[in-house]
Amino acid sequence: MNVLIVKTSSLGDVIHTLPAVTDAVKAIPGISFDWVIEESFQDIPLLHPNVNRVIPVSVRRWRKNLWKHKADIKASIKNIQQETYDAVIDAQGLVKSAFLTRYVKGEKYGLSKTSCPEPLAAMAYQHKIDVPKGQHAITRVRQLFAQSLGYELVAATLSYGLREDTLLPLESLQKPYLVFLHGTTWASKHWPNEYWKALILLATKAGFNVYLPWGSEQEKVRADNLADVSAKASVLPRSSIKELSAVLMHASGVVGVDSGLAHLTAARGTPAVTIYGSTNALLTGALGENSQSLQADFACSPCLKKACDYRQPSSVEPACYQSLSPQLVLNKLQALMK
């Protein structure tokens, strides 16, 4: 059975889909997958041994100027139509993913209009699946796959199924080391810089080297600033997602904010603490055998706002992180590492 997955972005959402792939492999002998995905994330599906072909698209680039990229869009659609699939699953439920799904040859499955993030997307599917909201994102995708492909979901087990054979960390990394994932999208999800600096000092005093990745110039500036507090803290060179996956896999532990790399860490099984303030750990928390999500204990958390609008006196900003101190975070991580 050959199945096409349409899940173009973002990094965390792509990783959320991997356990569903593992479920299907266990339930249906001989099943294999192709995957339509944003070009910048194309290394991730190939970390799973049952994903054969990745079809990169550039939706994020296209939407800036559709007319300018008309030829590129046509070429991508032609690429998507090369094969006929036994099933096509839109695991995203957005208009952009439905647009791509409608061109694929094969029976199309996706969330119903009451289950979709964007109800209009459901018009692209022949089989509309009801999956209750209010559940963790990983659970919802697993249910979508199980109902689409006709097997019983064993919810008690969770496996991302990632291959490990070819992943080696950078030779320059000095063990034991921790990785601190300071970068994220929303301003409200950023843990205060003074907390990161305090955590670096605590970690290096405990005998660890600390490495700081980055993905944009703004994150590079922050990483340089944070690393200045200790000679045992270093900024990683700019790395691909595949390279970062290896760095995370071989780390002694990881601390991160709500970001795609935090979910990748959970998938790798590395002991990790992920910090949640404005977002909801119950719905999108990093799930893994050695992962713990820490939700801020604050009246307006989770607010689901991109920028903090709390205006009362506070020792840090965003204010909700007052309840998640550096010492608390390190204690939680060390408990996982033991």
Q: Are residues 202 and 85 in the same domain?
A: no
Alpha-carbon distance of 29 to 31, in angstroms, equals 6
Quick one: which of 124, 119, 131 has its CA closest to 107? 124
Q: Which of 130, 149, 168 is the endpoint of a domain?
A: 149
| 265 lies in some domain | yes
Q: Are residues 312 and 245 in the same domain?
A: yes
| 172 lies in some domain | no
Judge whether 329 and 273 are in contact, CB under 8 Å: yes
Q: Residue 169: which pLDDT band, with cuts at 50, 70 and 90?
A: low
pLDDT tens readout for residues 17-48: 999 999 999 999 999 999 999 999 999 999 99
Q: What is the pLDDT of residue 171?
A: 66
The chain-wide mean pLDDT, for the chain, equals: 94
Quick one: which of 250, 285, 284 has its CA closest to 270? 250
CATH of the domain at 323: 3.40.50.2000
| 161 lies in some domain | no
Q: Residue 172: which pLDDT band, with cuts at 50, 70 and 90?
A: confident
Q: Which of 96, 131, 149 is the endpoint of a domain?
A: 149
Q: Are residues 190 and 145 in the same domain?
A: no
Q: Are residues 120 and 203 in the same domain?
A: no
Q: Are residues 272 and 130 in the same domain?
A: no
Quick one: which of 39, 54, 35, 44 has its CA closest to 248? 44
| 168 lies in some domain | no
Mean pLDDT (whole number) for 109-124? 97
Judge whether 247 and 236 are in contact, CB under 8 Å: yes
Q: Are residues 34 and 97 in the same domain?
A: yes
| 209 lies in some domain | yes
Alpha-carbon distance of 193 to 274, in angstroms, equals 16
Judge whether 59 and 8 are in contact, CB under 8 Å: yes
Judge whether 268 and 275 are in contact, CB under 8 Å: no
Range of the domain at 219: 177-337
Alpha-carbon distance of 156 to 146, in angstroms, equals 14
Q: Residue 144: which pLDDT band, with cuts at 50, 70 and 90?
A: very high
Q: Are residues 35 and 84 in the same domain?
A: yes
Question: Which percentage of the chain shows pLDDT scores above 70?
Answer: 98
φ, ψ (nearest 5 deg) of residue 64:
-75, -30
| 217 lies in some domain | yes
Q: What is the pLDDT of residue 89?
A: 98
Q: Are residues 116 and 216 in the same domain?
A: no
Alpha-carbon distance of 38 to 100, in angstroms, equals 12
Alpha-carbon distance of 300 to 277, in angstroms, equals 9
| 154 lies in some domain | no
pLDDT above 90 for 69? no
pLDDT above 90 for 167? no
Of the ranges 64-73, 280-289, 324-333, which one carries the lowest mean pLDDT score?
64-73
φ, ψ (nearest 5 deg) of residue 107:
-65, 130
**Does residue 171 or residue 286 have the better pLDDT?**
286
Q: Residue 199: which pLDDT band, with cuts at 50, 70 and 90?
A: very high
Q: Report angle CA 156, 162, 166 to the nearest 5 degrees.
A: 155
Quick one: which of 268, 325, 270, 262 has its CA closest to 296? 325
Q: How many domains does the chain have?
A: 2
Q: Are residues 211 and 306 in the same domain?
A: yes
Quick one: which of 237, 228, 173, 235 has its CA closest to 201? 228
Judge whether 35 and 7 are in contact, CB under 8 Å: yes
Mean pLDDT (whole number) for 221-243? 95
**Does residue 65 or residue 9 have the better pLDDT?**
9
Alpha-carbon Rg for the chain, nearest whole angstrom, is 21
Quick one: which of 250, 98, 107, 108 has its CA closest to 168? 250
Q: Are residues 68 and 199 in the same domain?
A: no
Q: Which of 149, 166, 193 is the endpoint of a domain?
A: 149
Mean pLDDT (whole number) for 193-209? 98
Mean pLDDT (whole number) for 281-287? 96
Q: Are residues 136 and 181 in the same domain?
A: no
Q: Residue 168: which pLDDT band, with cuts at 50, 70 and 90?
A: low
| 162 lies in some domain | no
Q: What is the pLDDT of residue 242?
A: 86
Helices 137-149 and 11-27 cross at an angle (nearest 10°) of: 40
Q: Are residues 204 and 313 in the same domain?
A: yes
Question: Which percentage of the chain shows pLDDT scores above 90?
Answer: 86
Cβ neighbours for 173, distance < 8 A, ≥ 6 positions apart: 209, 211, 247, 250
Output the pTM of the full model.
Answer: 0.93
pLDDT tens readout for residues 84-104: 999 999 999 999 999 999 999
